[in-house]
Structure 1
Amino acid sequence: MKSPHRLMQGMAVAAVVTATTLSAPIVAAAHEAQPGSGTYQECRGVTVDKNAPVVSRASVLIKAPLTTVWALHTDIDAWGSWIPEITPARKKTPGPLRPGSVFEWSPQNMKVTSTVTAVERGRCTAWAAPVNGIDGVHLFTFKQVRGGVLATTEESWAGTPVEADIPGSQAALDAGLNDWVHRLKTTAETKPGCADH
């Protein structure tokens, strides 16, 4: 069985985060949302677990159309083209992403089955991602702002493996969320037709 810290890294897609990945300016730093702070993202009433021992958030300004960002985010079968560490990633439920949709993905060779709990087209998604004793709740929100799209991801972790190493879990989740939004930014901004947005 993987160590709790290795497991955390996998769940958060916390492969080695290079200086290049994190060179873009971040709008709201990871680790901003804290248990008990009362400041959380929501998607149709769904939020992260506010009582979880580990909660993290990362936001970035993406200079690309909202339609491009949303398409990249919701095309789960193509995630591997810009986040290869989570392959294979496959949507198991046919049709558009909606509450009840199920998808499988494999961060660091672990098989994770997630269920979408909320979707608002062009604005937000939320899903539950339980794996190996960790209960994860993951939200993404998107807001059109001057200069592009503010993309925010927020996630909570609870469970025995998390409680065994809260600082390590927090660091892994912070790194993973930062990596994810910056990869989304880089991919969206390099799509054809986005350079002059």
Structure 2
Amino acid sequence: MSRTRRTGVRTALLALPLVVAGVLGTAAVPAGAAPHPGGSLTCRGQGVDPDARVRYRTQTLIRASPDTVWKLQADVERWPSWQAHVQDVERLGHGPLRAGSAFRWATPVPPNPASPATRLDITSTVRQLVHGSCIRWTGPAVGEGLRIDGVHVWNFTRVKGGVLVRTEETHTGPQVDAHVPAATELLGQGLEGWLADLKKAAESRTGHRPH
């Protein structure tokens, strides 16, 4: 692959996780999730893709009520109100988010040496969910010259001072599998950004100053 092509792939990869992830020793395990020291997060016993080479896991403490954090994350149609890189979210069904719920969303990809300006179209399907505790969804993200198949797990645990939010995500696909270190770094940047946005939005609603 040429240097120009590699630059384009890196640019596109960065856009996906920007929108779209250690455990506190005293934290209780969320209902439906299982403890896996050094392993993967789970929801109802199911985790990320065990064979994926691109994976990233992170966490943050959010000083807000569990209800506030959960509502922000589960109300996917309102993601654009607190995530700048999310657009055109559409629920493919009605009612509260639950196992089987699907939603379609998109994120822009800026012009780069490999392609003109485009966007990634993502269809996510919730596979497992325990209200207030964990979510696991899967789905493809498709853009010009790029396809990523992702599996994303979220755990939410009430702890002293707020909510411990843990997230883990894996990506597979020809482009990311060809550039594992770069794809992993970019996935990590995206998940850290998502957690930062969630923390800021939740804490601003409860009077805490994000830090």
TM-score by length of 1: 0.83
What letter is aligned with 2:12?
Answer: L
TM-superposed CA distance for 1:6, in Å, is 2.3
Please tell me whether the aligned partners of residues 14 and 175 of structure 1 are also in contact (alpha carbons under 8 angstroms).
Answer: no
Which structure is higher in strand share? Answer: 2
How many Å apart are 1:7 and its aligned residue?
A: 2.5
Alignment of 1:46-125 (within 5 A): 46-108=46-108, 109-125=119-135
Match in the other structure for 2:185:
171
- Equivalent-residue separation in structure 2 for 1:130 and 1:152 (angstroms): 22
C-alpha displacement of 1:4: 2.4
The code of the aligned residue for 1:79 comes to W
Gaps of at least 5 residues in structure 2 are 24-36, 109-118
- Letter of the 1:91 counterpart: R
Whether the aligned pair in 1 keeps the contact of 2:19 and 2:83 (CA below 8 Å) is: no
Figure out how many residues of one structure are paired with residues of the other and give that number.
176
Looking at structure 2, the residues matched to 64 and 47 of structure 1 have their Cα atoms a distance apart, in angstroms, of 26
- Residues 20-65 of structure 1: CA deviation (Å, up to 9, x unaligned): xxxxxxx77xxxxxxxx95111001120012201110120000000
Q: Distance in 1 between matches of 2:75 and 2:122?
A: 17
Question: In the alignment, is residue 157 of structure 1 matched against residue 171 of structure 2?
Answer: yes
Percent of pairs identical after alignment? 35
Runs of 4+ in 1 over 4 A off after TM superposition: none
SS of 1:89 mapped into structure 2: strand
- Residue 195 (structure 1) aligned with residue 208 (structure 2): yes
> Which amino acid in 2 is paired with 1:195?
H
Letter in 2 for 1:66: P
Offset of 1:3 from its aligned partner? 3.1
Larger Rg: 2
Instruction: State the superposition RMSD in angstroms.
Output: 2.2
Structure 1: tracts of 5 or more residues without a match: 16-26, 29-36
C-alpha distance in 2, partners of 1:55/1:190?
30
The alpha-carbon deviation at position 129 of structure 1 amounts to 2.3
Alignment partner of 1:13 is 2:27: no
**Whole-Å separation in 1 of the counterparts to 2:83 and 2:121:** 15
Per the TM alignment, residue 77 of structure 1 is displaced from its structure 2 partner at its CA by: 0.8
Tell me the TM-score normalized by structure 2. Answer: 0.77
1:129 and 1:7 mapped to 2: Cα distance?
17
**Offset, 1:149:** 0.2
Work out whether residues 57 and 153 of structure 1, in 8 Å CA contact, stay in contact via their aligned partners in 2.
yes
